[in-house]
Amino acid sequence: MGELGVFIILALVTLIPAVVVVTSHNIVRAALSLVPSFLGVTGLYILLQAEFVAGIQVLIYVGAITVLLLFVIMLTEGGTGVRLRQVNEQVPLGAMAAVWLAFVIIVILTRTVWPIGAGSPPPYNAVAIGNAFMTDYVLIFEATSLVLLVSLIGAIVTARGEE
């Protein structure tokens, strides 16, 4: 019962700033509204007892990606905030598409039978993840380093290519 209440609060903390991100006129405020949204997701992870994932969510999303976004925004303006135009001619079409998509998602969510796994989450999340990486999912783990390398090289090439 308490868990449902906490879930609702966390969902609101995630969704309301997300709406602000999408609709705000002030681009810096929009970017900063991501932070409570990410923190809401962190809370949801904790509710699922995935604390390691929650920790890295804060570390990466709040600590790195938001900073990256803010760098880009603050460096391409250098002054007053740009006021974004929020509506254009395609609003009716967009609204119809959004409503249809919402309908489809709600139908799927309510009609699927969600299987609940047996047992409880591992008591020490990081150990379980580490074991999984090193044994069952080694290939994916190594492939991840390749993906990171490629993205690093790509980013450098793209950014420096302007010289």
Site map (CB under 8 A) of other proteins, residues 74-103, x = contact: xxx-xxx-----------------------
**Burial (Cβ within 10 Å: 0-12, 13-18, ≥19) of residue 122:** middle
Cα gap 47→42, rounded to integer Å:
9
**Could you tell me the smallest distance in angstroms from the CB atom of residue 97 to other proteins?**
32
> Measured on CA atoms in the order 152, 154, 157, 160, is the torsion positive or negative?
negative
Stretch touching other proteins by CB under 8 A, among 60-68, 90-98, 101-109, 110-118: 60-68
Cα gap 32→98, rounded to integer Å:
25
> Nearest to residue 48, comparing CAs of 3, 5, 112?
3
**Could you tell me the smallest distance in angstroms from the CB atom of residue 4 to other proteins?**
14
**Could you tell me the smallest distance in angstroms from the CB atom of residue 35 to other proteins?**
6
**Could you tell me the smallest distance in angstroms from the CB atom of residue 31 to other proteins?**
10
Q: Which position among 15, 22, 60, 105 is part of the footprint of other proteins (CB under 8 A)?
A: 60
Give Dmax over CA atoms of the chain in angstroms.
Answer: 59
Query: Residue 8, interface with other proteins (CB under 8 A)?
Result: no
Nearer to other proteins, 4 or 75 (CB): 75
How far apart are the two ends of the chain, measured CA to CA in Å? 59
Mapped onto helix, strand or coil, the DSSP state of residue 26 is strand
How far does CA 147 lie from the centroid of its chain?
19
Footprint of other proteins on this chain (CB under 8 A)?
2, 26, 28-29, 32, 35, 46-47, 49, 51-52, 54-56, 58-60, 62-68, 70-72, 74-76, 78-80, 120-121, 123-127, 129-131, 133-135, 138, 141-142, 144-146, 148-149, 151-153, 155-156, 159-160, 162
